Structure 1
């Protein structure tokens, strides 16, 4: 039983990360009907902003050499600025085109950012050490919980609570919710389209920068494709939760994280290398039962 609870803690921690990535993807999709595959590269850029451009195996620290408060601020600011810049240059001029064109633009932005990282840092994985004290475990009711997992769960809950407050209690948050439900109607009622979309991208950047820091502390390594699998899992999470639904994206992130960790813990050893295939098979089974996802937004009902 103790092993089950230990695995549950690991599952909730991983689910918290997926929930944050899924929320970032869901916010942008809600207002633009765009799956922004560059979200994976926002995470990667945030992680690489910790080190100076170098092709050395052990790079010199850049933001990572700062005190933790300015380091967090600079990483999150970098990714947020990047998200706003890509929205302004790559997506806003194409907003009135069809969704296929926007999707192609998203792929183009993603490959451009990957190439930028390769040009500045090379393609070899690198190691970086920040937050060493968070790798040690603490005892809670007989369970050994690494500090990074406690931090991940705390940060995820804090960001989710802050975002809920923003969406429900502020004027701009209410406008963002309205736009995610029915963007055309929201525009007719006076919601500023450019501002709302910029805010959605800005929040996705804040979440991307936060996720970058949590991943680097947890893994201690940098790789040009480090954001790819979290984004893929998060995309499946948004589909499970009901694409366009923010509560659904969060719930889907936790569902995918829990399934992934429990499969890793309980599958036979010779099957564990195929865990991802099993996870995606379960996702397909869920969608066969409920193809519209767990939550259905007003906009989704109209499209159906």
Structure 2
């Protein structure tokens, strides 16, 4: 029972990272129909922001804030320089653009900083544990869960209770109608990218705190899993992205913990097989968006 509880905490922690990244992908896709495969580089840029800030002597908390800001800046820079001019282009052109941005940033990270992982020295107390009864919990996974649910709650408030949030929801339904109402679509899209960058930055903070390092490919695999989660939940569905993230993270952790050693190398294949099975039952995703068929 104790082992199961610990693994549930780990599953929520990892699933929360995937959920935030998937939500960032879904926010952008719901408005501009762009699957941003450069989203992983936004996360990586946040990690390098933390590394550089600590290299210049900033305290850890300040460095984390710098990492968040770096991710938001990168997301907004991508929107302004690469994706704004492509708005309204077909899906293939948008995909090629996002892949190109991703590869360019990887090369810049590899040649401008380091192709190898660079260590980030967080306080030793951050990697400690605490006990509740006979059960041991890690500080970072617990903080990760709290931060994840706080971020998701904050984003829900922004989308449902603020003017810009309601404008983003309207843009997800029909961005052309939004323009006819006199609302600046560029501003709405820029805010959507900024929010996706903020979520990627939070994921970068948690990921680097757990790994203790950052490298040019740090964001690639988490965002790949987040994309799978987005498809599982339903492309363009914000609630589906969150649900898919937690399902993928939960499957990954629980299979890692309870599979016999002989089957452990097939964990990722089993996760993908489970996702395929769910999609066979629900081809549009678990919580498909109302505008899923919008052209």
Equivalence for 2:161:
169
CA contact under 8 A between 1:237 and 1:249: conserved in structure 2?
yes
Equivalence for 1:55:
none
Distance 1:223 1:88, change over 3 A: same
Equivalence for 1:159:
151
Distance 1:187 1:143, change over 3 A: farther
Give the total of aligned pairs. 295
Equivalence for 1:267:
259
TM-score (norm 1): 0.93
Instruction: Give CA deviations for 1:190-224 in whole Å, capped at 9, x if unaligned.
Output: 33210111001101111111111111110112221
Equivalence for 1:243:
235
Task: State the alpha-carbon separation in 2 of the partners of residues 88 and 131 from structure 1.
Answer: 37
Task: State the alpha-carbon separation in 2 of the partners of residues 149 and 51 from structure 1.
Answer: 21
CA contact under 8 A between 2:234 and 2:287: conserved in structure 1?
yes
2:202 is paired with a residue whose SS is: helix
Pairing 1:105-184 to 2, within 5 Å after superposition: 105-184=97-176
Equivalence for 1:9:
9
Cα shift at 1:125: 1.9
Task: State the alpha-carbon separation in 1 of the partners of residues 122 and 180 from structure 2.
Answer: 48
Distance 1:302 1:136, change over 3 A: same
Pairing 1:60-99 to 2, within 5 Å after superposition: 61-62=54-55, 65-99=57-91
Cα shift at 1:301: 4.1
Cα shift at 1:113: 0.7
Task: State the alpha-carbon separation in 1 of the partners of residues 234 and 123 from structure 2.
Answer: 35
Unaligned runs of 5+ residues in structure 1 are 53-59
Task: State the alpha-carbon separation in 2 of the partners of residues 147 and 260 from structure 1.
Answer: 20
Does residue 289 (structure 1) correspond to residue 281 (structure 2)? The answer is yes
Equivalence for 1:208:
200
Deviates more, 1:1-10 or 1:109-118: 1-10
Unaligned runs of 5+ residues in structure 2 are none
CA contact under 8 A between 2:9 and 2:142: conserved in structure 1?
no
Distance 1:131 1:209, change over 3 A: farther
Equivalence for 1:56:
none
